[in-house]
Structure 1
Amino acid sequence: MARDYQDEIAHWAEKLFYPVSLKGKVPKKDATSKKLGASTAKAFASHARIRAQIARTTRRTPEVMVKITNRLGAGKGMSAIREHLSYISRNGKLELETDTGEPLTDKETISDYAHELKHQVRGRPIPELSNRREAFNIILSMPAGTPPDKVREAAREFLEGEFGGKHRYCFTLHTDTDKPHVHACVQAAPLRKGKRLNPRKADLQCWREGFAEQLRNIGIDANATARRTRGETRQTQRQGAHHAGKRRPLQFVQLANSVEWPRAYRSTLVAWEQLAKAMRNSPTETDREAANQIEDFVAGWQPAVPRKR
């Protein structure tokens, strides 16, 4: 039996926003189904949520950034952890906040906190040097212009929801660049019974989703989509103008067949094409207008231009 337009919209939106690479992982508030393929609608929680995600993406809502710093030796032993705490606190000049809400206001309180971390792990204390990660250094960031206090507030809520009661952590806000960002140091060992923290690519995407949702909860428009969903790579050039008010034929087929365009991006273009088609078949005017917005969104893409060597 052929899918109706609602099922088609959900099907293609899943491919764009929850690709196979996530291996069944979805943000906690959407985790009504452990397996995405079992129910697309459940994965998104509702048709309204799908449409909200499409709208955020096509209007190019500011994207959150969440990453783990992978500097050589990062988090491998107490020596590296102390060094990182000193760095993010600017040698005790910036206040750190712990998972229990305790402020670490100077070198002495930060040193005491590090001592607690060292001896809080079940079994032997954390060694000074280790071959494995004993802590993960995470950065949560938003583009320039975002109120720094809102970034800190959203980061606090995200960290509490993701790690509270499970892992020790501390964090602080940095405003030394035009992009306000929070540095967090999260202990790998669990507080109680449980698994050590060992994040993968899918976990990072879920963290991005969670951070973006916390920002939206406090009134900051934020999105968390993959680069390829937005038609962006480090080599891609995007047209500055969207030709507002001008409608032009979609170039899905031409771009999708372009030899310069990576295979993953060609499949993304096909998904956007099918999503626009499904929304065109909707009886609601807002869905049909969303199809127009998808056309404008994709019309601004260009095939990747090879870098000069």
Structure 2
Amino acid sequence: MARDYEDEITHWAEKLFYPVSLKGKVPKKDTTSKKLGATTAKAFTSHARIRAQIARTTRRTPEVMVKITNRLGAGKGMAAIREHLAYISRNSKLELETDAGELISDKASREAYTREWQEQVRGKPIAEVSPRREAFNIILSMPAGTPPDKVREAASEFLKEEFGGRHRYCFVLHIDTDKPHVHACVLATPLTKAKRLNPRKADLQRWREGFAEQLRQRGIDANATPRRTRGATHRTQRQTMHHAIKRQHLQFMQVANQVGWPRVYKSALEAWERLARVMRETPTQTHRDAANQIEDFVTGREPIIPRKR
């Protein structure tokens, strides 16, 4: 029987970009992950999508950042929400855009909007101080040099797709740093009978993927891969290591093989190596070029984009 290279490529790519459980099942849905599961897994297994994902990662495409701000008391009651909206709008010096597309640019309108939020929930109005989160403050960011207008457009469409018609939200673009970013505030209580917003790690990754997709649709090269897949960590570095990294890329191999480093990095390295091996054995020159790109990526060499044939 002829060897199915595409199936082997899909297998190892899934381990890198869409990990499955030991039983071969896709991750179970959590309280808010509406797009995880078989549908997303099937969509990812498109050979074109897999090749594009590999290419973006090995050429070190800029990664999107999506995070929930965890400042003490964030979103815990209407007083905190009101304070946050005042902060991200710079006391109405910046326009807030709502889920209805309305622009709020003055203090009176902002206060009226927060009163609307407080009352427009199922059940009791939001208390001034609450023991639980009544809203989530989310930041969507791209590296320096990304056109701010594209970041705002991509964030707007992502928020509409993810929360539109289900949760009230508003957002604003900030360009006061070199990295253009959007601050969004999303109410936890849904507009209709459904579960409260309760994001987990899987949700954050899915949000990153959604935001990156919207940026790519606007001509901005953007990626959203797990840190372990690209050999990146948050581990505190010694000063000597810090300067070494500034001089050259930290090799994926070095990260994965450090004593005591999490096993997931070694698993990711193995998946990259297996993926490169399969692609190098295919009769397709495009796949063999991709295998070379993977080798450069895991050893820390600067990517060389092959010329189109």
- Residues 182/50 of structure 1: CA separation in 2 closer, same or farther (3 Å cut): same
Which of 9, 12, 23 is the matching residue for 2:27?
23
What do residues 52-93 of structure 1 show as CA deviations (whole Å, max 9, x unaligned)? 000000000000000000000000100000000000000111
**d(CA) in 2 for partners of 1:24 and 1:100?**
32
Percent identity reads 72
Mapping 1:278-289, distance limit 5 Å: 278-289=278-289
> In the alignment, which residue of structure 1 is the partner of 2:148?
148
Look up the equivalent residue of 1:201 and give its one-letter code: K
- The yes-or-no answer on 1:124 pairing with 2:128 is no
Is the 2:28–2:37 Cα contact (8 Å) retained in structure 1?
no
Instruction: Give every structure 1 segment of 4 or more consecutive aligned residues whose post-TM-superposition deviation is greater than 4 Å.
Output: 28-32, 236-242, 254-258
Look up the equivalent residue of 1:23 and give its one-letter code: P
Q: How big is the alpha-carbon RMSD for the aligned residues of Structure 1 and Structure 2? A: 2.6
- Residues 201/2 of structure 1: CA separation in 2 closer, same or farther (3 Å cut): farther
Look up the equivalent residue of 1:159 and give its one-letter code: L
3-state DSSP of counterpart to 1:72: coil
> In the alignment, which residue of structure 2 is the partner of 1:33?
38
Q: CA deviation at 1:24?
A: 4.5
3-state DSSP of counterpart to 2:38: coil
What do residues 16-39 of structure 1 show as CA deviations (whole Å, max 9, x unaligned)? 11124882469x998682584xxx
- TM (norm. structure 2) is 0.86
**d(CA) in 2 for partners of 1:32 and 1:80?**
35
Is the 1:5–1:282 Cα contact (8 Å) retained in structure 2?
yes
**d(CA) in 2 for partners of 1:17 and 1:60?**
15
> In the alignment, which residue of structure 1 is the partner of 2:52?
52
Is the 2:152–2:182 Cα contact (8 Å) retained in structure 1?
yes
**d(CA) in 1 for partners of 2:189 and 2:282?**
50
Q: CA deviation at 1:261?
A: 3.6
- Residues 193/95 of structure 1: CA separation in 2 closer, same or farther (3 Å cut): same
> In the alignment, which residue of structure 1 is the partner of 2:88?
88
Q: CA deviation at 1:300?
A: 0.9
**d(CA) in 1 for partners of 2:3 and 2:70?**
45
3-state DSSP of counterpart to 1:205: helix
Is the 2:27–2:36 Cα contact (8 Å) retained in structure 1?
no
Unaligned runs of 5+ in 2: 302-309
**d(CA) in 1 for partners of 2:60 and 2:293?**
11
Look up the equivalent residue of 2:151 and give its one-letter code: V
Q: CA deviation at 1:259?
A: 2.1
Q: CA deviation at 1:227?
A: 1.1
Look up the equivalent residue of 2:130 and give its one-letter code: S
**d(CA) in 1 for partners of 2:39 and 2:179?**
35
**d(CA) in 1 for partners of 2:268 and 2:8?**
15
Mapping 1:1-309, distance limit 5 Å: 4-20=4-20, 23-24=27-28, 33-34=38-39, 36=41, 42-235=42-235, 238=245, 258-259=258-259, 261-300=261-300
**d(CA) in 1 for partners of 2:247 and 2:220?**
24
**d(CA) in 2 for partners of 1:29 and 1:278?**
33
- Residues 31/75 of structure 1: CA separation in 2 closer, same or farther (3 Å cut): closer
Look up the equivalent residue of 1:185 and give its one-letter code: C
Is the 1:30–1:45 Cα contact (8 Å) retained in structure 2?
no
Q: CA deviation at 1:193?
A: 1.6
- Residues 2/24 of structure 1: CA separation in 2 closer, same or farther (3 Å cut): farther
**d(CA) in 2 for partners of 1:291 and 1:120?**
54
What do residues 184-224 of structure 1 show as CA deviations (whole Å, max 9, x unaligned)? 00000111121110000000000000000000001000000
**d(CA) in 2 for partners of 1:108 and 1:45?**
50
